[in-house]
Every structure is written in C-alpha cells, then in structure tokens.
Amino acid sequence: MLPILLADLSATNRFGLAIAQSVDGAVIALHGTLGAGKTTLVKAVGKGLGVREVITSPTFTMLNEYHSGRLSLFHLDLYRAGETGEIMDLTMLAMELDEVCDQSAAAVMMIEWPQYFQVEGQSYLEEKDYLEISLSLVKAGDLLPGVGGPADELDEEVLREKYEGGNPIKEGDSEARIANLVGHGPQSSALIGQLRSALADMVIYL
C-alpha cells in the first residue's frame, strides 16, 4: 500500500498528472464516500492526458468516454447500481468494456464505486490487473507519521501545518485527502513504484 497526502487541489492535480504521465493503459478503481474527491481526481487525470472535453460525472449514464487526449479515458460512475436501490444488470456494460480493452490497451478506465460492478455475482475486476485508490478525508490538525520522509524528520508542529487547507479541493471544503494506493497485479504494482518516485514529497511514511 502507498499512502499519498493530497493537501489541496494543486496536489490532486499533480497526482492526476503523475498518473497520466506514467500509464500507457490502466484500470483504476476509485473508492471513497460522496465528496471524497473521486471525480476531481478523474478530471485531474483527464487534464494530464490532454482531454479537451469538459469531464463530468456520469452518474445517470454510468459511462462517459473521452478520446481527445493521449489515451482514451473511460469514466464510470456506478453509484446508481448500489446506492439508490435500483436493480441493474451490468452484463452489457461489462461486455462493452471488455470489447474496448480487447481492441485497445491504450486506454485509461477509471471506475467510481467499483464495489457495485457485479456481473453474475462476481466482481468485474476479479481477474483484472487494476490499481485501487481509496480516498479519505483528513481534518486539519490530524496527525500522521512523516510526509515526504521518515517520521523522525518531522515534528508535530510541521505536521499540523501540512494539514491546514489553504487551497481546498472544492469550494468551501478545507479538508485534505489521503489517497491509499494498492496494486492488484504486476502492471498496477509497477505503476505504484513509478508514482512513489514521482511524488516522493507527498508520500506518507507510516
């Protein structure tokens, strides 16, 4: 697991750019509560890929496609499949995505609420190589071990300053985020290694 501090919108954009620059194709599962910053991260990755269209959350359509960047970006939001009580058959959606992956590995697929992507009782991601990113809120003043270096290099006061939301991710929101990255397969694990190097000053050392 690789925990990364997203102290503000600038850090989130940098994180998204690092992902965009490090991949030649990836499946990314985004976990987090409402308002955790999942769509914000998708927008940051899209910007890093050079997507020219306005990226919006596909809450009702479940899938938006963007083909103007260096790689195609497929953005899924499966909130409706698990949080609204609707009974949905996602078999056709899974077949469509599998066809896309078969035709071109040069695409980034980012899935919000991936725990609800169930096809015939099995997770769509079950046998896939994918990067799992869990986003959680961190309130100003909360303490964690060192950011950007071993814990003994930072004292409590420096850590407190790190978490003060001077550049909120969303207007009116002064809370930072932590992104916990877990690789499920060799490709996603290699990507984590690249991100560890590119974002060394944002890594949280537990």
pLDDT in tens, 68-77: 999 999 999 9
Q: Output the pLDDT for position 104.
A: 64
- Residue 156 confidence (pLDDT) above 60: no
Residue 148 has pLDDT above 80, yes or no: no
Q: Can you say whether the dihedral through the CA atoms of 68, 96, 28, 77 is positive or negative?
A: positive
- Torsion sign over Cα 93, 96, 102, 107: negative
- The structural domain count of the chain equals 1
Model confidence over 9-35: pLDDT tens digits?
Answer: 999 999 999 999 999 999 999 999 988
Which of 40-54, 116-130, 149-163, 174-188 has the highest average model confidence (pLDDT)?
40-54
User: Tokens 């694990």 identify what position?
Assistant: 189
Q: Categorize the per-residue pLDDT at 160 as very low, low, confident or very high, splitting at 50, 70 and 90.
A: very low
Is pLDDT of 46 > 90?
yes
Q: pTM of the entire structure?
A: 0.84
Domain of 52 in residue numbering reads as 2-202
Partners of 156 in the β-ladder: none
Non-local CB neighbours of 90 within 8 Å, separated by 6+ positions? 78, 81, 117, 118, 119, 124
pLDDT of residue 96: 86
> HSE-up of 13 (CA within 13 Å, CB side)?
9
Phi, psi of 110 (to 5 degrees): -115, 120
What pLDDT shows up at residue 205?
81
Write down the pLDDT at residue 154: 46
Say what percent of the chain tops pLDDT 90: 57
Q: How confident is the model at residue 157 (pLDDT cuts 50, 70, 90)?
A: very low
122's enclosing H/E stretch is: strand 122-123
Identify the bridge partners of residue 98 per DSSP, sorted by sequence position: none
Give buried/exposed letters for 146-181 (b at 16+ CB in 10 A, else e). Answer: bbeeeeeebeeeebeebbebeeebeeeeebbbbbbb
Higher pLDDT residue, 105 or 166?
105
Confidence class of residue 86 from pLDDT cuts 50, 70 and 90? low
For 91, phi then psi, to 5°, come to -60, -45
Residues in the chain: 206
Please report, for the domain that includes residue 67, its CATH number.
Answer: 3.40.50.300
pLDDT value, residue 159: 41
d(CA 206, CA 200): 14
Strand 2-6, strand 176-184: pairing: antiparallel
